[in-house]
Amino acid sequence: MAASAIRILGLDPGLARMGWGVIDVNGTRLCHVAHGVLTSNAKSDLGARLFALHEALCVVIAGHRPAAIAAEQAFVAKDPSAALKLGHARAVALLAAAQAGLEIAEYAPNHVKKSVVGTGHAGKAQVLLMVRRLLPTAGVETADAADALACAIAHAHLAGTRAKILAALA
């Protein structure tokens, strides 16, 4: 990618599995850099699990040096306990980003799906399919990593829209 490319780290926070994906954006061109899933040991206590996620995410941030982080907001369904655990994982992700001095953007799951698939109520399989289309060299196989890449793509689309508006106003 050219020197004017912007690197974005997308995150799909979760306590058991935290998806991450890195893309470079140069104008309207998207380029896959890396992706993966961070996991925590379900047999460990909550503090140890959060620490493990934090440490692993800090390694990802240091290794890929993104300019911005885009994280999916919490989706609260019927299980308050699961929502609270998700909130802890999101807090760890936001803390790691803040410690690195990065711009943090948060997007509702429906916004991410609409940006990537075209409909806010797309299923995980549809998101995976569209991420594979938009980033054909990625070879993404897991829904967690695909959701994280989709979040980065949604941020890239929004950043591109902002740039066009600012250019039109100048």
Annotated active-site residue in 24, 55, 106, 144: 144
Q: Would you call 72 a catalytic residue per the annotation? A: yes
- Give the C-alpha separation, 51 to 48, whole Å: 5
Contact between 48 and 65 under an 8 Å Cβ cutoff? The reply is no
Catalytic one of 24, 45, 55, 72: 72
Whole-angstrom Cα distance, residue 49 to residue 52? 5
* Residue keyed to tokens 């690197």: 7
> CA of 4: how far to CAs of 1, 29, 41, 55, 69, in Å?
8, 12, 39, 29, 17
- The whole-angstrom separation of Cα 105 and Cα 94 is 10
Tokens of 3: 């020197």
User: In this structure, are strands 6-12 and 68-72 parallel, antiparallel, or unpaired?
Assistant: parallel
- Annotation says 12 is catalytic: yes
Residues labelled catalytic: 12, 72, 144
